[in-house]
């Protein structure tokens, strides 16, 4: 479960939105919608523990009942997917996935080797056999799915999505949506999606949360 209590984010004296409190259960997706510039991405960066210049934030973050507000990003166990896939161009698809893989899987887990974990992840995403592909040869939808798999192989306990479908359309978008839904259910992850696209509002189990602009 991911719980955000009284999130209050500012740049200088400017408060981005009214203080926000929300709880997302395991396997549940919550959707936040707001026009550009109201702090959707800033909220996700704060939850993930990423420093942002000139931003100050107050509030508390709990993940599976553990307070993580003051932990560094690498100890929060939160995965963050940006709009752009941000794959390493000098690495193969398999090496990109191995880079994000949790240390427990780097060795051996339940009798499975590192290569087996990577191969199984690619199969689940409809990308079987692409371990040796150059990321630059992939379509936009394929890159997005590889970026998601890399994040999930790091074994996060919550997933944050920052406009992940904005550059995708048609079948590519559907494939990414289906993969996020199936993997979050399989791994029992709470998911927070921010978007201004009306098509994304129906993805949450509850009505979307709309930011209220502040002073």
pLDDT of residue 83: 85
pLDDT of residue 169: 86
What is the rounded end-to-end Cα distance, in angstroms, of the chain?
Answer: 31
Q: Note the pLDDT tens digit of each residue in 42-99.
A: 999 999 999 888 899 999 999 999 999 999 999 999 999 988 888 999 999 999 999 8
How buried is 145 (Cβ within 10 angstroms: 0-12 exposed, 13-18 middle, 19+ buried)? buried
Give residue 30's pLDDT band: very low, low, confident or very high (50, 70, 90).
Answer: very high
pLDDT mean over 173-201 = 93
pLDDT mean over 15-30 = 92
pLDDT greater than 60 at residue 104: no
Give residue 180's pLDDT band: very low, low, confident or very high (50, 70, 90).
Answer: very high
Mean of the per-residue pLDDT values of the chain: 90
140: which 2 tokens?
């936009």
CATH class, 1-77+188-215 region = alpha beta
Q: Tell which wins on pLDDT, 159 or 55.
A: 159
Would you list the domain boundaries of the chain?
1-77+188-215, 78-155
pLDDT of residue 51: 81
Q: Tell which wins on pLDDT, 152 or 212.
A: 152
pLDDT of residue 188: 97
């Amino acid at each position: 479960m991911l719980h955000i209590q009284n999130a209050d984010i500012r740049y200088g004296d400017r408060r981005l939105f009214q203080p926000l409190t929300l709880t997302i259960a395991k396997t549940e997706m919550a959707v936040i919608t707001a026009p550009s510039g109201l702090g959707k991405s800033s909220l996700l960066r704060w939850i993930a523990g990423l420093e942002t210049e000139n931003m100050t934030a107050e509030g508390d973050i709990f993940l599976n009942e553990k307070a993580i507000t003051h932990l560094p990003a690498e100890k929060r166990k939160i995965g963050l997917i940006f709009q752009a896939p941000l794959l390493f161009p000098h690495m193969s698809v398999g090496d990109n996935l191995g880079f994000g893989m949790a240390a427990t899987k780097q060795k051996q887990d339940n009798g499975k080797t590192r290569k087996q974990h990577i191969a199984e992840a690619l199969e689940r995403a409809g990308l079987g056999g692409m371990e040796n592909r150059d990321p630059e040869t992939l379509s936009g939808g394929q890159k997005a799915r590889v970026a998601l798999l890399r994040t999930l192989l790091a074994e996060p306990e919550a997933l944050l999505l920052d406009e992940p479908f904005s550059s995708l359309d048609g079948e590519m978008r559907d494939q990414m949506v289906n993969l996020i839904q199936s993997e979050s259910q399989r791994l029992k992850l709470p998911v927070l999606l921010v978007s201004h696209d009306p098509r994304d509002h129906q993805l949450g189990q509850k009505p979307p949360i709309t930011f209220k602009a502040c002073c």
